[in-house]
Amino acid sequence: MIEIQHASRLAGVPGDAVLVRAAEAALARAKAAGDVTVRLVDRDEIQALNARFRDKDRPTNVLSFAQDVVGERGVRLLGDVIVCAGVVNDEAREQGKSPVAHYSHMVVHGTLHLLGYDHVQDDDAQAMEQLERDVLATLGFDDPYAPVTGVHHTAHRDRTALDV
């Protein structure tokens, strides 16, 4: 089950079905199953989480908090994906991406983190990015790491576009 929580009232956030579909696609591609919570938050909440758990006192686009425990219903609880609506809206606009594509990317990225994928080392980053491309392609979205003509695009490995 994918649960969507709305703690942000910002406009421009895709409907729950889009977010659920992105998380489910990431789980399917990774051949994993379990419950995931996707929480949409404002800058203040994600900044507080980023400061507390990562010692980075600034907002970021997405954070993941893995649990990987078996819950009351006997279902694997994978964890929480926290998406900052304000940051993701700004990034989509700045990078010339559709909000639906960028939110989907953030949910896929965060869900893969819950499954143990990481991008600290270059080899791991390349593998994770390719998996993200594959998942997003199944959803009908272009490569999120491809440069957009005439738009400044920050590469993932620079750790500024995706800060998890």
Q: What is the pLDDT of residues 49-59, one digit of tens each?
A: 999 999 999 99
In this structure, what CATH number is given to the domain that contains residue 16? 3.40.390.30
Asked if residue 99 belongs to a domain, the reply is yes
Rounded Cα distance between 148 and 146, Å, is 6
Length of the chain: 164
> Dmax over Cα atoms in the chain, in whole Å?
51
Q: What is the pLDDT of residue 149?
A: 61
Tell me which DSSP letter residue 5 carries: E
pLDDT of residue 70: 86
Residue 153 lies in a domain: no
Q: Is residue 161 part of a domain?
A: no
Name the domain count of the chain.
1
Residues of the chain with pLDDT under 50: 152-164
pLDDT of residue 36: 96
* Residue 41 pLDDT: 97
Domain membership flag for residue 160? no
| Residue 86: inside a domain | yes
Q: What is the pLDDT of residue 73?
A: 79
Helix (H, G, I), strand (E, B) or coil at 99: helix
* Domain encompassing residue 79: 2-146
List Cβ neighbours of 112 (8 Å cut-off, separation of 6 or more). 26, 30, 128, 131, 132, 135
* The model scores a pTM over 0.75: yes
49 in any annotated domain: yes
Q: What angle do CA 134, 137, 138 make, to 5 degrees?
A: 90
What confidence score (pLDDT) does residue 11 get?
A: 87
Q: How many CA atoms lie within 13 A of 2 on its CB side?
A: 24
Q: Is residue 72 part of a domain?
A: yes
Sheet harboring 35-41: ordered strands across?
2-6, 35-41, 76-84, 62-70
- Considering the domain boundaries, does residue 156 fall inside one? no
